[in-house]
Structure 1
Amino acid sequence: MLFLKVGRKLVQVDLENILYIQSSNIYCLVYLKNGDRLICTSTLQALEEKLRSFHFIRIHRCYILNVAEISVIDKSSMSIYLSGLDDPFPISRRYKSFIAKLEHAV
């Protein structure tokens, strides 16, 4: 479980329901499996620290993904696809080493 500050409320979110998190200016957009999107006032770095030990991986300065939802890692285009989503997520050069670690863990 994770508590997110959404407006003036703390909202409890089950980690298994998070698909990915996207940074957007001073907010983070948390996309859930049911299609909902939460706008929280936390930084991506703060969320990364909270989620590091729960099978989430940062692949770009704007994205944190739920490892359990990864369906394809495309090395040629340096992108990742998540289950149920058509658009790829870019892997930045800075986070490429984390992807190598992920490949060895599988």
Structure 2
Amino acid sequence: MKLLTAVIVDDEEDSVNLLRIQLQKYCPQIGDVFAFTSPLRALEEVEILKPDLVFLDIEMPELNGFQFLEKLMPLSFSVVFITAYNEFAIKAFRFSALDYLVKPIYVADLMEAVKKAVDVGKPSEMQLDIFQKQLQLAQVNKIAVSSLSGIVFINLDEILYVEASSNYSILVLLDGEKVIVSKTLKDVQEILEHRHFFRIHRQYIINLNKVKHFNKNDCLLTMENNKQLQVARIQKDKLIEKFGVV
């Protein structure tokens, strides 16, 4: 098996040294490891080194991770982002299917990230675009999703509920529009669960602010568009607790 050439780009020298040691000790797929604390210097060297895999910090003083990648498009290597971002932003990685490591980096996470990078290959420009926009919107009441027609930006307050459809999910909006996204309901749940959304059933996630009526006896919710949705009985008490019913 051909050993992979790896490059680390991170402005924190201690982080670079630790990651280099971890790669050499725990990741047998990795051969040569080159490390840079200056993204500008790394830019000069990457085209010469032609790495298979780049571990890239997002926030750096000279160039951030996205500016670094933009100068190397189209990418010829796989990317694993290194981040200290908050939980919502980390979920944006999952939504765009990009891989990441959170500081401090744990060995098990590193081994899994390397294996995934080998299996999946380089990220697409669309994945990077979705993720970058998702991060920018992290403090805004919107999400950026990859739909069948492209990238769609949706205000969370416009979502009535989300319905599972095999390996896809359907976002049902206030105006009646339905947006199909190529993510499972579980993937969507990871993005929305810390906002004003709640999974009431294996089939549905609802916007708690758009509930009109709850029939506790029949476990049926009526949404603002008068659509009735079944609530799983094991979720009934959790739902009541969400609304603070006494």
Structure 2 length-normalised TM: 0.41
2:242 corresponds in structure 1 to 102
Query: Structure 1: any 5+ residue segments left out of the alignment?
Result: none
1:18 corresponds in structure 2 to 159
Per-residue CA shift, 1:54-103, capped at 9, x if unaligned? 10011000000110100111101011111122x31111123223213223
Number of positions where the alignment pairs a residue of Structure 1 with one of Structure 2: 105
2:143 corresponds in structure 1 to 2
Q: C-alpha separation between the residues in 2 aligned to 1:33 and 1:103?
A: 21
2:233 corresponds in structure 1 to 93
Amino acid at match of 2:170: L
Higher strand share: 1
Per-residue CA shift, 1:25-76, capped at 9, x if unaligned? 1110111111110111011111111111210011000000110100111101
Query: Structure 2: any 5+ residue segments left out of the alignment?
Result: 1-141
1:30 corresponds in structure 2 to 171
Higher helix share: 2
Amino acid at match of 1:92: A
Is residue 197–residue 205 contact of structure 2 (8 Å, CA) maintained in 1? yes
Question: Does residue 210 of structure 2 align to residue 69 of structure 1?
Answer: yes
SS at match of 2:157: helix
Q: C-alpha separation between the residues in 1 aligned to 2:175 and 2:224?
A: 13
1:45 corresponds in structure 2 to 186
Moved more, 50-59 or 2-11: 2-11
Is residue 166–residue 184 contact of structure 2 (8 Å, CA) maintained in 1? no
Superposition RMSD in Å: 1.6
Cα deviation, residue 8, structure 1 = 5.6
SS at match of 2:218: coil
**Percentage identity across aligned positions?**
26
Amino acid at match of 1:15: L
Q: Which has the larger radius of gyration?
A: 2
Report which structure shows greater RCO (CA 8 Å, sep ≥6). 1
